[in-house]
Chains A and B, each alone.
Chain A
Amino acid sequence: MGIFDPKRRGLIAMESTPKYNVSRVGTDLDKQLDRIAKKTMQDYKQVFKKLEKY
Chain B
Amino acid sequence: MEKIKYVKLDFVEQYNKEFVTLSHEDYCVQKEGHLDWVLSQVIEFPYLIENIPKLVEETKSVIEYEEVAPEGKRKLIVQKASFLLFHLAAGHIFIEANKRISLFIFVTFLRLNGFDVKDGDSLLDNLFNKITSRKPSADVLFKLVIALAGCEEINGKKENCVIYKNPEDIIYIIQDLVV
Cβ of B113 to closest chain A Cβ, rounded Å: 10
Given A13-B55, A54-B143, residue A25 in contact with residue B48 (CB < 8 A): no
Contact B108 A30, beta carbon cutoff 8 Å: no
Candidates B11, B48, B49, B120; contact of A48 at CB < 8 Å: B120
Interface size class of chain B, counting residues whose CB lies under 8 Å from the partner chain = 35 or more
Given A21-B58, A22-B57, A44-B104, residue A52 in contact with residue B22 (CB < 8 A): yes
Residues 1 to 29 of chain A near chain B (Cβ within 8 Å): 6-7, 9-11, 13-14, 17, 19, 21-27, 29
What is the bound-complex CA distance between A27 and B5, given in angstroms?
A: 14
Contact B18 A7, beta carbon cutoff 8 Å: no
Secondary structure call for the A interface: helix
Judge if B64 is at the interface, Cβ distance under 8 Å. Answer: yes
A-side interface residues toward B, CB under 8 Å? 6-7, 9-11, 13-14, 17, 19, 21-27, 29-30, 32-34, 36-37, 39-41, 43-44, 46-48, 50-54
